[in-house]
Amino acid sequence: MALTDYKALTFDVYGTLIDWETGMVNGLKPLTDKVGGLTRDTILEAHAFHESTAQKWTPGKPYSQLLATVYKRLAEEWRVQVDWEECLAYGASVKDWPAFEDSADALAYLREHYKLVVLSNVDNASFAQSNEKLGAPFHMVYTAEDIGSYKPSPRNFDYMLENLQRLGIHKQDILHTAESMFHDHGPANRFGLANCWIYRRHDKEGFGATMHPGDMPKYDMVFNSMAEFAAAHKAAVS
The residue out of 70, 96, 122 marking a domain boundary is: 96
21 within 8 A of 48, measured Cβ to Cβ = no
**Model pLDDT for residues 160-200, shown as the tens digit of each residue:** 999 999 999 999 999 999 999 999 999 999 999 999 999 99
**Are both 131 and 181 inside the same structural domain?**
yes
What's the whole-number mean pLDDT along residues 82-95? 97
Domain encompassing residue 232: 3-20+97-237
pLDDT at 48 over 90: yes
Q: pLDDT digit string (tens) for 56-78? A: 999 999 999 999 999 999 999 99
Total domains in the fold of the chain: 2
3-state secondary structure labels for all residues of the chain:
CCHHHCCEEEECCECCCECHHHHHHHHCHHHHHHHCCCCHHHHHHHHHHHHHHHHHHCCCCCHHHHHHHHHHHHHHHCCCCCCHHHHHHHHHHHHHCCECCCHHHHHHHHCCCCEEEEEECCCHHHHHHHHHHCCCCCCEEEEHHHHCCCCCCHHHHHHHHHHHHHCCCCHHHEEEEECCHHHHHHHHHHHCCEEEEECCCCCCCCCCCCCCCCCCCCCCEEECCHHHHHHHHHHHHC
pLDDT of 147 reads: 98
36 pLDDT higher than 90: no
pLDDT digits (tens, 9 = 90+) for 226-237: 999 999 999 999
Answer whether residue 6 shows pLDDT above 90: yes
199 and 118 in a common domain = yes
Query: 148 and 112, same structural domain?
Result: yes
Q: Assess whether pLDDT exceeds 90 at residue 49.
A: yes
Q: Are residues 55 and 107 in the same domain?
A: no
pLDDT for residue 151: 98
Q: Judge if 162 and 218 occupy the same domain.
A: yes
The reply to whether 184 belongs to the active site is no
Same domain, 71 and 149: no
Average pLDDT, the chain: 97
**CATH code at 170?**
3.40.50.1000
Give pLDDT, residue 1: 81
Task: Pick the last residue of a domain from 36, 69, 96.
Answer: 96
- Catalytic annotation, pick one of 12, 19, 123, 184: 12
Contact 135, 104 (CB under 8 A): yes
Residue 40 sits in a domain of what CATH number?
Answer: 1.10.150.750
Per the DSSP assignment, residues forming a β-bridge with 214 are none
pTM of this prediction?
0.96
Please indicate, yes or no, whether residues 150 and 34 belong to a single structural domain of this protein.
Answer: no
**Residue 15 and residue 202 in contact, taking contact as beta carbons nearer than 8 Å:** no
CA 29 to chain centre: 21
Q: Do both 160 and 211 map to the same domain?
A: yes
**Which residue, of 76, 96, 116, is where some domain finishes?**
96
- Whether residues 146 and 70 fall in one domain: no
Q: Do 139 and 170 belong to one domain?
A: yes
